Amino acid sequence: MKIALASDHGGFELKEKVKSYLQTKGHDVIDLGCYTEESTDYPEYGKACGEAVIRGDAERGIVICGTGIGISIAANKVKGIRCALCTSLFMAEMSRKHNNANIIALGGRILEHDFALNIVEVWLNTDFEGGRHQRRVDLLDRM
Ligand code: RB5
C-alpha cells in the first residue's frame, strides 16, 4: 500500500521507526518530514499529509506528534480527511470498521513504540464495514 507519513519533532523518532517497519512489510512510503529532531510546527505536517491523501499520492496516511492531538486536528482540517487519534488496538480497529479513517494519528511521547507498530498493523489490516456506517461517514464528508 502507498502510505504518506508525517510528524513534527515530537513524533520524529516514532516516525522513523514506523517508516522502517512499513518498508520491511513492503509498503511504499512517502516521507513528508520532518527530517530532524529540531523544533517545528505540527500544523504544517498534518496539512501536508492530509493533502497528499486527498490528492491520491497515497491511499492512507500516518501522522505523529508528541501526543498525536495537534497533528490530528491539523489533518482533519483538510476536507475529506477522517483522521483518528488512536491509543489502543481497539480504537485502531474501530476507526477503520466504523469511521473509514484514512489517516491515523499517534503520540510519539505517549505510546510505547513497539506497541505503536501493533496499532499501525491493526489499522492497516482492517477494512471499513460500510452498511449503516457509510451514511454517517457521508454525513462527515459533507460537513
Ligand atoms: C510539541 O512540543 C508538541 O506540542 C506537539 O508534538 C504535539 O504534542 C501537539 O499536539
47-69 residue pLDDT tens: 999 999 999 999 999 999 999 99
Residue 44 in contact with residue 87, Cβ under 8 Å? no
Residue 64 in contact with residue 13, Cβ under 8 Å? no
Tell me which fold the domain 2-142 belongs to.
Ribose 5-phosphate Isomerase B; Chain: A, (3.40.1400)
Nearest-CA neighbor of 37 among 67, 9, 65? 9
113 in active site: no
Per-residue pLDDT at 23? 98
Q: Could you give phi then psi for residue 62, rounded to 5 degrees?
A: -130, 125
| Half-sphere exposure (Cβ direction) of 29: Cα atoms closer than 13 Å | 20
The domain locations on the chain are 2-142
Per-residue burial over 1-11, b = 16 or more CB atoms within 10 Å of its CB, e = otherwise = eebbbbbbbbb
34 Cα to the center of ligand 1, angstroms? 13
Per-residue pLDDT at 7? 98
The pTM of the full predicted model, rounded to 2 decimals, is: 0.98
98 in active site: yes
In the DSSP assignment, the letter for residue 66 is S
Confirm or reject: Cβ of 70 under 6 Å from ligand 1: yes
